[in-house]
């Protein structure tokens, strides 16, 4: 049986491309993926870590309370300071939005992982996670996860722009 090797992208509903692009770039360091004029007209695509976020434009995005995606954060304290500086509220309780609680995060007993939830401008919920014990391969060896701004990219045909 062929196996899944990675998650390529997630798709979220948005109501304002410019606002969404600015928020993801400023808050999570996402990078715009220029896929050429025809494709860019159909959809906003961003790279976040080694995966992508694609969008569906809709006047009023549909919210399902528990729907979310999670991203691993390399430096937890730096991210919390960044969110505080930008005024982005966060909570260890899924679904808690702006002004409902003071910003805080939780810790998982089984892994010491820190976690918190934030929401983008359209209410899409994002879980931020940090695993201080790291990642191990199948042999129990530590594996370093690095952010590389020139990281993996899907090959494109000639004539399509790059995000750099």
Here the CATH number for the domain that contains residue 85 is: 3.10.180.10
Evaluate if residue 149 carries a pLDDT over 80: no
Residues 68-99 have pLDDT tens digits of 999 999 899 999 999 999 999 999 988 665 55
Evaluate if residue 164 carries a pLDDT over 60: no
User: Residue 101's pLDDT is what?
Assistant: 53
Residue 119 is assigned to a structural domain of this protein: yes
Residue 151 is assigned to a structural domain of this protein: no
Q: What is the chain's length? A: 164
| Unique residue bearing structure tokens 């899924």 | 94
Evaluate if residue 129 carries a pLDDT over 60: yes
Residue 163 is assigned to a structural domain of this protein: no
- Report the predicted TM-score, pTM, of the whole model to 2 decimal places: 0.84
CA distances (Å), origin 1, targets 4, 113, 137: 10, 33, 21
Domain count, the chain: 1
Evaluate if residue 154 carries a pLDDT over 90: no
Residues 36-60 have pLDDT tens digits of 888 889 999 999 988 899 999 999 9
Q: Is the dihedral of CA 12, 43, 7, 82 positive or negative?
A: negative
Which range of residues forms the domain containing residue 100? 9-143
| Unique residue bearing structure tokens 């007993």 | 109
The closest alpha carbon to 20, from 32, 9, 10, 7, belongs to: 32
Residues 22-31 have pLDDT tens digits of 999 999 999 9
The closest alpha carbon to 130, from 65, 82, 97, 66, belongs to: 82
The closest alpha carbon to 118, from 140, 101, 136, 135, belongs to: 101
Residue 4 is assigned to a structural domain of this protein: no
Radius of gyration of the chain, Cα coordinates, nearest whole angstrom: 17
Q: Is the dihedral of CA 60, 66, 71, 74 positive or negative?
A: positive
Name the E strands within 49-110.
51-57, 68-72, 106-107
Residue 31 is assigned to a structural domain of this protein: yes
């Amino acid at each position: 049986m062929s196996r899944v090797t990675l998650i390529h992208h997630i798709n979220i509903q948005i109501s304002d491309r410019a606002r969404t692009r600015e928020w993801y770039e400023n808050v999570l360091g996402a990078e715009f993926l220029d896929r050429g004029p025809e494709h860019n007209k159909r959809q906003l695509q961003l790279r976040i870590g080694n995966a992508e976020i694609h969008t569906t434009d809709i006047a009023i995005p549909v919210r399902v309370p528990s729907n979310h995606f999670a991203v691993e954060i390399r430096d937890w304290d730096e991210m919390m300071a960044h969110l505080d500086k930008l005024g982005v509220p966060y909570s260890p309780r899924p679904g808690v939005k702006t002004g409902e609680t003071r910003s805080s995060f939780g810790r998982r007993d089984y892994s010491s992982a820190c976690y918190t939830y934030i929401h983008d401008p359209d209410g899409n919920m994002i879980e931020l996670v940090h695993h201080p014990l790291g990642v191990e391969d199948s042999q129990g060896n530590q594996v370093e996860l690095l952010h590389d701004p020139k990281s993996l990219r899907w090959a494109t045909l000639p004539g399509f722009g790059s995000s750099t």
